Structure 1
Amino acid sequence: MKELLCVTGLTGSGKSVASDFFVDKGYQYVRFGQIVLDEVKKRNLEPIEANERPIREEFRKKYGMAAMAILNLPKFKKLLEVGDVLGDGLYSFEEYKILKEEFGKQFITVAVYAPPELRYERLAKRKLTSEDTELRNRPSTKEAAESRDYAELENLNKGATIAMSDYTVLNTKDLDFFKKQLNEIFQEIQKNK
């Protein structure tokens, strides 16, 4: 059975590293929020949280709280025809419910957790490179990241998505520790196929 594995977590928790791990294992990649960044670029805006949030909210006003899942459904379905799919950045609980309803047992979620101060420290150290055309690793100030945390938890119901995840990974130590946990999850998923 082909599966849609979605990664969730707050900004700076390690979602991109987790996503890359599964892509390296053969999953096809879809980033939920790429739709927002594409719109930011289309409007010739700087890719910063202050410009991204209004667009995210605009999409959600038009399509509801499940906007990112709804907008990515055609892509997920097409890719699932040929193999497993990794969805990077599942946000709202409404998105979770849409995908659970649409894909049932094919839908698996992994929550990545790191405490706020550690995430903010990581985000401040990030450097944007020319190779990062999808802006997956853009830096953020502590203030912007904290503001985004509150917006995601209060306005997007992201806490419920994290709480309902099938697996939770702690990203509080080094990369080897993190990847070891991800590999254990991968092995369990493969065993249950």
Structure 2
Amino acid sequence: MPGSGKTEFAKMLKEKGFQVISMGDALRKRYEKEARHGEKLMDFAKRIREIYGEGVVARLSIEEVPPSAKLVAFEGVRSLYEVEEFKRLGEPIIVAIHSPPQLRYSRMMSRMRQDDSKDIQELRRRDLDEIKLGIGGVIAMADYVVLNDSSIEEFKRRSEEIIQRILR
């Protein structure tokens, strides 16, 4: 979910030699080319899924993988349809990063990234949109779950443990 710590986890994967592809960046790249005037990113994401199928963002993300990449991680998987697309590359391992909603909202309010809402109700609506896209199924089917509910140091310790298991 937004604000859970996906980007921090992705940074750790990069340090271990993974090529990390942000699915959000792949989507934004397409959005900049094809969005309708005034169309929000989430509305664009819904629209292209209706046109090209539920796995379209995964396919866009796969296009971003350099041919030389050995270890690849996709940050921001939203549905099991996307997981199915990744099976074209091998057997994906799903890592879910979980943080309680209030903590995620607090983080988003303090970081104020461009796509973060400034209103708690808008953040809740965004969560519901993510759930409608199917993120709950991805979390439920995760091979590993990292709980991010305390300090950054504790999150990194927990994440390192999972990354080491994956690399074995």
Above 0.5 in TM-score?
yes
Match of 1:4? none
Equivalent position of 2:149 in the other structure = 172
Q: Give 1:108 deviation, angstroms.
A: 1.2
Q: Report what 1:103 is aligned to.
A: 89
Q: In the alignment, which residue of structure 2 is the partner of 1:153?
A: 131
Structure-2 change in CA distance of 1:28 and 1:45 (3 Å): farther
* TM-score normalised by L of structure 1: 0.77
Alignment gaps of 5+ in structure 1: 1-9, 129-134
Tell me which amino acid in the other structure corresponds to 1:74: E
Q: Which residue of 1 aligns with 2:120?
A: 142
8 A contact 1:40–1:51 mirrored in 2: no
Q: Output the CA distance in 2 between the equivalents of 1:55 and 1:179.
A: 33
2: CA distance, partners of 1:94 / 1:21: 26
Structure with more contact order per residue of length (Cα contacts < 8 Å, sep ≥ 6): 1
SS of match in other structure, 2:12: helix
Aligned residue for 2:165?
Answer: 188
For 1:114-129, what aligned pairs fall within 5 Å after superposition? Answer: 114-128=99-113
For 2:17, the equivalent position in structure 1 comes to: 26
Over residues 100-156 of structure 1, what are the superposed CA-to-partner deviations in whole Å (9 max), with x where a residue is unaligned? 3x1343x1111000011111111011144xxxxxx6xx53232222111101112x1
| CA deviation profile, 1:18-69 (whole Å, cap 9, x unmatched) | 11111111111211121332244445978xxx71111101210121111111
Which consecutive segments of 4 or more residues in structure 1 shift more than 6 A? none
Contact 2:98 2:148 in 1 (8 A): yes
Give, in whole Å, the separation in 2 of the partners of 1:103 and 1:41.
Answer: 27
Whether 1:90 aligns to 2:68 is no
Could you tell me how far 1:99 is from its partner in structure 2?
A: 1.6
Q: Cα–Cα, structure 1 residues 40 and 66, in superposed 2: closer, same or farther, change >3 Å?
A: closer
Counterpart CA distance in 2 for 1:149 and 1:139 is: 12
